[in-house]
Amino acid sequence: MMAVSFERHGRLYYLDPGGHSPQVGQLVLFPTSRGAEVAETVWPPSYVSQEIGGLPVCAGLATTEHVARNERNRKQRARILMAARRLARVNELPLKIGAVDWDDSDEVATIYFTSPTRVDFRRLVRDLARTLACRIELRQLSARDEARVLGGIGPCGRDTCCSTFLKDFEPVSVRMAKDQDLPANPMRIAGACGRLMCCLKYEHPLYQDFKLTAPAVGEIVDTPDGPGRVVGHSVPADAVYVRGADGRRSVCPKASVCGSRQAYEKSRESLEGSHPPR
């Protein structure tokens, strides 16, 4: 298996290398519905531990002709993008042009945009078709799809998940943030798209499983250093914070802390009742 990207630091796409062995940075041909497109090798062919089927097969190494065609298409996309943004301003349409796809074989330009309301863009399509002399298609994107197409940097300082490796958007709720003791402040838990961060989903099952077996905050427990009260949890460390009778706070591995059997069964019943089977 190998990984390629159509843009520098863009989303990764996985390929079956077939009989080819490109190196990092080498240009290859990625099969698409519009024909082979030029992509840059980010991860050279490597063996993986799992059997992965259904991957597109690398169509070969890019030649000078392929690279020249790719450069012409890149310039055409930039030209269409500038024209679309200019004509959207001229027509005073409340929309934001995000990205452009160009099919040079059929001479079709697909323009992606976002808008807070419904927009009558028929006049814009006519103006674009007359200016660019090609067929125009406009498609509206959601906030998450816009972030995926445009890319960006997340609060973690890395490229956004949706623009690199994430393929499907799974439901994310504020409850997931609360279960992970994160602040309910939208500015802290929202991604570049303005919606809840997709990464809230990653560690949520770990927090759910931890709370099924860990003593609740406020519960009296026995520790190797004597009895104390649970004052907090550290899920990544699989430990609990305990304050002893002398007021000292210590970190104890969850396995070394024993709470009452009744409290354990009560917390497990309440959590299992709100925890859907997986």
pLDDT digit string (tens) for 236-263? 888 888 888 888 888 888 887 776 544 5
Q: Same topology for domains 68-141 and 209-263, yes or no?
A: no
Instruction: Tell me what pLDDT residue 29 has.
Output: 92
CATH superfamily of 68-141: K homology (KH) domain (3.30.300.20)
Instruction: Tell me what pLDDT residue 278 has.
Output: 46
Question: What is the percentage of the chain residues whose pLDDT exceeds 90?
Answer: 21
Burial class (CB in 10 A: 0-12, 13-18, 19+), 108: middle
| Coil, strand or helix at 170 | coil
What pLDDT, in 10s, does the model give residues 123-168?
A: 889 999 999 999 999 988 887 887 877 777 888 888 788 877 777 7
Q: 264-268 long-range contacts, Cβ below 8 Å, gap at least 24? A: 264/215, 267/211, 267/212, 267/215, 267/216, 268/212, 268/213
Please give the average per-residue pLDDT across 6-17, as a whole number: 79
| Coil, strand or helix at 175 | helix
CA distance 222 to 196: 39
Closest C-alpha to 75, from 38, 100, 41, 108: 100
CB atoms within 10 A of CB 130: 10
Residue 56 pLDDT > 50: yes
Residue 189: CB partners within 8 Å, gap ≥ 6?
174, 177, 182, 183, 196, 197, 200
Residue 271 pLDDT > 60: no
> Binning pLDDT at 50, 70 and 90, where does residue 9 land?
low
- Please state the domain extents for the chain: 2-62, 68-141, 146-202, 209-263
Residue 270 pLDDT > 70: no
Residue 231 pLDDT > 60: yes
Residues 44/22, Cβ–Cβ less than 8 Å: yes
Say which CATH architecture domain 209-263 belongs to.
Roll (2.30)
Ordered alpha helix ranges (H), the chain: 64-90, 122-132, 143-150, 174-179, 186-189, 204-213, 261-274
* Average pLDDT, rounded, for the chain: 83
What pLDDT, in 10s, does the model give residues 176-202?
A: 988 888 888 888 888 888 888 888 888
The residue type of 7 is: E
Any idea which residue has 């796409």 for tokens?
13
CA distance 114 to 145: 9
Residue 53 pLDDT > 80: no
CA distance 40 to 160: 19
Please give the average per-residue pLDDT across 68-91, as a whole number: 92
> Binning pLDDT at 50, 70 and 90, where does residue 267 land?
low
Instruction: Tell me what pLDDT residue 1 has.
Output: 87
